[in-house]
Amino acid sequence: MACPTCSSDNPEVASFCHRCGTSLRGGDALRTATYAVQSAEGVTQLALISTVMPHTSRRSADNYRWAMILSGVLILGATVLGLLPIAIAAAAFLVPLTYLVYIDDVNLWEEAPAAVVVGLFVATGALSVLVSLFFFDWVFDAQWAQVAGAGPARGGIGSMSFPALLIFAVLLPVIAEVAKNVFAVLLAARPQFDDMIDGLTFGVAAGTAYAAFETCVVYAPVFTSQTFQTDQGISSWLVVVLNVMVIKSLIYGTATGIAVASFSGKGEAYDGFTPAYFANFGLAVGANVAYWLGVRLMAYLPFGNALGLIWGFAILAALMLKIRMMLQVALLEAAVEAAAKGDGSDDKRSTFVETFCPECENLLLTNASFCIVCGTSVRSSSRQARSAMGMSAVPAGVGAAPPGTLALPPAEGDVTTTEAATTHEDGDA
Amino acid sequence: MSAPESTPDSTPDNAASSTPPSAPSVKSSDEYFNSSRLKVIGLITAATVAVGALGGIAGVAFDPDPVPKDHVIQPGGDSTRLAPQSLGSPGNSSPRGHAARSPFTSRVPSSDATASPSSVGSVSPGSGGLGGSSTGATEEPTPDGGGTPCNQSACGALIEATDVAIYVPPNWTVDFTDENRVFQSDGNGSFSFAFSFASGDPATAAGDVITQNMDNLLPPENYTQLQTSDVVQLEPFGSVVSIAGIEYEALWVDNQGSVSIHGQIYVGVRQDGTVLGILIEHVPAEDFEAAFNDLTPILDESFGRFAGLG
């Protein structure tokens, strides 16, 4: 069967083109219903794990989901008990720690774990501490105090300090976004990390690390408070902890992820500082500014903290949708372009040997960018899976089989691809 | 098309017999990850607990010395700091009092504040147009930082509803005012919020006004871990028939951060039933003592005029 988009030959049973991912089963040629990163989900589905951890599979995503739920419950439990230093510290680092485990789990750092950990978490964290101290303690402490001094009972929004609003809701997010991008971009420029999904991952990691260290600075009074355990203001702290743990961390992460992903670009090698990068950097800044402006202005309304939390969730949802649509378009377009250029034998982002789809465990064709059964992009596979596909272990273009066939590496025995496929099908049965 | 449940070890025998060693074996998706489900969940949970424990250690290790809550003074002229023993011991003493809610309760529009604030913007010292002279017992505030020297007779903001004049020290800025309220700050972490209304009842107890309005003045949503002294009944003077004060410390919090905050609230009731309340506050709490001398003129001058001594 010839793909209507890229004309690649596909087996008659294929639901998706193995080269460009086009749906071959009528009605959804644009694949709006099937997310290329995790085919069980729709593109516009607000699924957090597959959005920020694109290298997970449907099954491994569950691990992170349950880990975060369990940890989140423990953190909220500490909050309810009034153990604020414990709750704030754990909430600040929940997402970055989860991300660190994720990066190890999918072996994203490959041969450079130190560079990834130091570059993303330590260096970005150090920048975060410096920027936060500069704004909240060293230079603009009086303006920050002004934010605390005014309030609903003291004139409401009329008592708001406009300079303080500009400093903490506009200037700070701009500077912070630069700091979040620095080390993530440096990593994304390395040849082994030049895929858009890698860029996204590094951006999210840097953003969440920045958020964690910033939280430690801005909530430092919690650690220096005279009371270790409190029974006052628990409902307020629950909102704050939820914000720190989920909303702030992920807004920072997803926004930076979008910017760094566009630095990587959709095709071969990284795109660099293109207009698309600056546009998405602006989007990241805009999202952060919108978030903090909303938080600051809603603080003057009744239940201002809770409203700020809801506002943050709306911003986060928009950023998640942006990431999913961005990756969907990039993966499909890059595959079409690669298919148009050749048979895929030189494409380092398609399979080199026959293997099995990490998502649905059905057979992946050689030179495939997508699973013909579930439509998942092989670019969203873990590093181990990609290694099994021969994507990094075998030089591109060596011994590649004709597209659409099952090419086995040179072997002692000889068996036709049909036999191999039949064998596998039998095994399934 | 469904995903097989097989693993490399479970490859069917017939396949193994007919497939060369180099043929791909069915891999479970779990094999493409370094960690098992249990390991992932265990690692993340353990790491979260460990970081939380570090936060707990920091919370214990960095406890500062408590800021004493013995700064309540006798406003109206001599700024006498009351002896500590005249206060209740610092702690989580709850506001007390059972008087009927004062009109101020409904007049501090915490929830309506954004509706139509009549902000006058920034009022520089000297432009307030306050009439009358100051109490002689208070030292002349000294302008600092090269600001315009302040003539006390011309530094202030008027609460229109009661014609009560609130003293604005040199280099302070009035950030907000309406018919019942004046909010001012010095740009260095010190704030003052004044309110006034006519209760119509000179028997209104100043201490009750404080206790009835604590949640308005220090919204629990933001002022957490609030510790207050007991309400201190002060000596009436001039036309003030009841005056009381309270000192507090709290951890102010919102979604962007938190600060420690220390302050005092004074409320006086005049013989015509007019109520004046003044809150002074400083961020961070540990610097309150240093800022206190800059805050007391607001109390002395304003209450002095309120009592007819100015």
Interface check for B23 against chain A (CB to CB < 8 A): the answer is yes
B23: amino acid identity, one letter: A
Residue ending a domain, among A316, A337, A358, is A337
Give A303's contacts in chain B (Cβ within 8 Å): 221
**B217-235: b or e for each residue (b if 16 or more CB lie within 10 Å)?**
bbbebbbbbbbbbbbbebe
Asked if residue B38 is part of any domain, the answer here is yes
Residue ending a domain, among A298, A318, A337, is A337
Asked if residue A46 is part of any domain, the answer here is no
pLDDT digit string (tens) for chain B, length 310 residues: 333 333 333 333 443 344 444 555 555 666 778 889 999 999 999 999 999 999 999 999 887 666 666 667 777 655 554 433 333 333 333 333 333 333 333 333 333 333 332 222 222 222 222 223 333 333 333 333 333 334 444 468 999 999 999 999 998 999 999 999 999 999 999 999 999 999 989 999 999 999 999 998 999 999 999 999 999 999 999 999 999 999 999 999 999 999 999 999 999 999 999 999 999 999 999 899 999 999 999 999 999 999 998 6
Res A149: pLDDT: 84
Given the structure tokens 């709750």, which residue do they identify? A87
Q: With an 8 Å Cβ cutoff, are A70 and B41 in contact?
A: yes
Structure tokens at A254: 């997803």
Out of A66, A152, A235, whose CB is closest to B110?
A152
Structure tokens at A102: 């994720």
Structure tokens at B76: 């109206």
Residues A109, A237, single domain; the answer is yes
How far is the alpha carbon of B277 from chain A, nearest alpha carbon, in Å?
Answer: 12
Given the structure tokens 């990094």, which residue do they identify? A392
Asked if residue A53 is part of any domain, the answer here is no
Helix axes A196-218, A249-264, angle to 10 degrees: 150
Structural domain range at position B20: 8-61
B192: amino acid identity, one letter: S
Residues A263, A123, single domain; the answer is yes
Q: Are A41 and A56 in contact (CB under 8 A)?
A: no
Interface check for B121 against chain A (CB to CB < 8 A): the answer is no
- Other beta carbons within 10 Å of A328: 21
| C-alpha span between A109 and A119 (Å, rounded) | 11
| C-alpha span between A384 and A394 (Å, rounded) | 14
Res A304: pLDDT: 93
Given the structure tokens 């089963």, which residue do they identify? A25
How far is the alpha carbon of A44 from chain B, nearest alpha carbon, in Å?
Answer: 24
Residues B50, B104, single domain; the answer is no
B124: amino acid identity, one letter: S
The CATH number of whichever domain residue B171 belongs to comes to: 3.40.1000.10
Structural domain range at position A13: 1-30+343-429
Residues A173, A307, single domain; the answer is yes
Q: With an 8 Å Cβ cutoff, are B41 and A63 in contact?
A: yes
Res B109: pLDDT: 33
Asked if residue A409 is part of any domain, the answer here is yes
Residues B136, B56, single domain; the answer is no
Interface check for B200 against chain A (CB to CB < 8 A): the answer is no
**A348-380: b or e for each residue (b if 16 or more CB lie within 10 Å)?**
bbbbbbbbbbbbbbbbbbbbbbbbbbbbbbbbb
Q: With an 8 Å Cβ cutoff, are A237 and B253 in contact?
A: yes
| C-alpha span between B6 and B26 (Å, rounded) | 7
Asked if residue B113 is part of any domain, the answer here is no
The residues near B274 (Cβ < 8 Å, ≥ 6 apart) are: B162, B164, B196, B197, B198, B199, B306
Interface check for B37 against chain A (CB to CB < 8 A): the answer is yes
Residues A381, A313, single domain; the answer is no
A235: amino acid identity, one letter: S
Asked if residue A42 is part of any domain, the answer here is no
Residues B123, B37, single domain; the answer is no
Asked if residue B66 is part of any domain, the answer here is no
Interface check for B122 against chain A (CB to CB < 8 A): the answer is no
Which residue from B minimizes the CA distance to A374? B1
| C-alpha span between A220 and A399 (Å, rounded) | 59
Asked if residue B68 is part of any domain, the answer here is no
Out of A97, A161, A361, whose CB is closest to B28?
A361
The residues near B50 (Cβ < 8 Å, ≥ 6 apart) are: none
What is the reported pTM? 0.82
Q: Are A81 and A194 in contact (CB under 8 A)?
A: no
Residues A18, A126, single domain; the answer is no
Residues B37, B123, single domain; the answer is no
Out of A70, A85, A426, whose CB is closest to B56?
A85
Q: What is the pLDDT of residues B133-147, one digit of tens each?
A: 333 333 333 333 333
DSSP calls for A202-224: HHHHHHHHHHHHHHHHHTHHHHH
Mean per-residue pLDDT pooled into runs of 10, chain A (429 residues)? 90 92 78 87 94 92 96 98 97 96 88 82 96 97 90 81 95 98 94 90 96 97 87 93 98 98 89 96 98 95 94 98 95 88 68 82 87 91 78 44 39 36 35
Count of residues for chain B?
Answer: 310
Out of A141, A308, A411, whose CB is closest to B22?
A411
Q: With an 8 Å Cβ cutoff, are A410 and B56 in contact?
A: no
Residues A414, A398, single domain; the answer is yes
**B290-301: b or e for each residue (b if 16 or more CB lie within 10 Å)?**
ebbebbbbbbbb
Residues B31, B99, single domain; the answer is no
- To test the contact with chain A by mutation, choose from B7, B9, B30, B48 the residue with the greatest count of A C-beta atoms within 10 A, namely B48
Residues A386, A411, single domain; the answer is yes
Residue ending a domain, among A306, A337, A368, is A337
Radius of gyration, CA atoms only, chain A: 24
Residues A177, A254, single domain; the answer is yes
DSSP calls for chain B: -PPP---GGG--HHHHHHS-TTS-----GGGGSSS-HHHHHHHHHHHHHHHHHHHHHHHHHTPPPPPP----EETTTT-EEPPGGGSPPSBBPPP---PPPPHHHHHS-TTTTTTS------B-TT-S---SPPPTTSPPPPP-TTPPP--GGG-EEEETTTTEEEE--TT-EEEEE-SSEEEEE-SSSEEEEEEEEE-S-TT--HHHHHHHTHHHHS-TTTEEEEEE-PPEEEPP-TTEEEEEEEEEEEEEEETTEEEEEEEEEEEEEETTSEEEEEEEEESSGGGHHHHHHHHHHHHHHHHHHHTT--
How far is the alpha carbon of A178 from chain B, nearest alpha carbon, in Å?
Answer: 19
Q: How many Cα atoms sit within 13 Å of A419 on the Cβ side?
A: 13
Q: What is the pLDDT of residues B268-302, one digit of tens each?
A: 999 999 999 999 999 999 899 999 999 999 999 99
Interface check for B40 against chain A (CB to CB < 8 A): the answer is yes
CA dist B123 → A162, B108, B129, B156, B295 (Å): 15, 22, 10, 9, 18
CA dist A403 → A11, A282, A350, A406, A410 (Å): 11, 41, 11, 8, 17
Residues B47, B161, single domain; the answer is no
N-terminal to C-terminal alpha carbon distance within chain B: 91
How far is the alpha carbon of A132 from chain B, nearest alpha carbon, in Å?
Answer: 11
Res B29: pLDDT: 63
| C-alpha span between A177 and A206 (Å, rounded) | 10
Residues B43, B162, single domain; the answer is no
Residues A305, A362, single domain; the answer is no
Residues A157, A26, single domain; the answer is no
Res B143: pLDDT: 33
User: How many domains does chain A divide into?
Assistant: 2
Q: What is the phi/psi pair of residue A401, to 5°?
A: -90, 165
Radius of gyration, CA atoms only, chain B: 30
CA dist B141 → B128, B138, B151, B170, B297 (Å): 16, 8, 9, 7, 7
Residues B295, B176, single domain; the answer is yes
Q: What is the phi/psi pair of residue A52, to 5°?
A: -95, -15
Give B37's contacts in chain A (Cβ within 8 Å): 60, 62-63, 66
Interface check for B31 against chain A (CB to CB < 8 A): the answer is yes
Asked if residue B3 is part of any domain, the answer here is no
Do the strands B190-198 and B232-234 form a parallel or antiparallel pair, or are they unpaired? Answer: unpaired
Q: With an 8 Å Cβ cutoff, are B109 and A156 in contact?
A: yes
| C-alpha span between A261 and A331 (Å, rounded) | 12
Res A26: pLDDT: 72
The residues near B241 (Cβ < 8 Å, ≥ 6 apart) are: B202, B269, B270, B271
Residues A330, A355, single domain; the answer is no
Out of B29, B49, B283, whose CB is closest to A57?
B29
Residues B96, B26, single domain; the answer is no
Residues B244, B182, single domain; the answer is yes
Residues A330, A360, single domain; the answer is no
Residues B131, B270, single domain; the answer is yes
Q: With an 8 Å Cβ cutoff, are A362 and B225 in contact?
A: no
The residues near A389 (Cβ < 8 Å, ≥ 6 apart) are: A351, A352, A353, A355, A364, A378, A381
Res B25: pLDDT: 57
Give B26's contacts in chain A (Cβ within 8 Å): 356, 361, 424, 427-428
Residues B147, B39, single domain; the answer is no
Structure tokens at A258: 């979008």
Res A418: pLDDT: 35
Asked if residue B80 is part of any domain, the answer here is yes
Query: Distance between alpha carbon A111 and the CA centroid of its chain, in Å?
Result: 21
Out of A66, A161, A292, whose CB is closest to B256?
A292
What's the complex ipTM?
0.87
Q: With an 8 Å Cβ cutoff, are A152 and B29 in contact?
A: no
User: How many domains does chain B divide into?
Assistant: 2
Asked if residue B77 is part of any domain, the answer here is yes
Asked if residue B293 is part of any domain, the answer here is yes
- To test the contact with chain A by mutation, choose from B178, B183, B195, B255 the residue with the greatest count of A C-beta atoms within 10 A, namely B255
Out of B35, B51, B108, whose CB is closest to A153?
B108
Res B70: pLDDT: 66
Triad B69, B73, B77: Cα angle to 5°: 165
Give A154's contacts in chain B (Cβ within 8 Å): 113, 176, 181, 183, 191, 193
N-terminal to C-terminal alpha carbon distance within chain A: 25
Tell me the three state secondary structure of residue A355.
strand
Which residue from B minimizes the CA distance to A307? B255
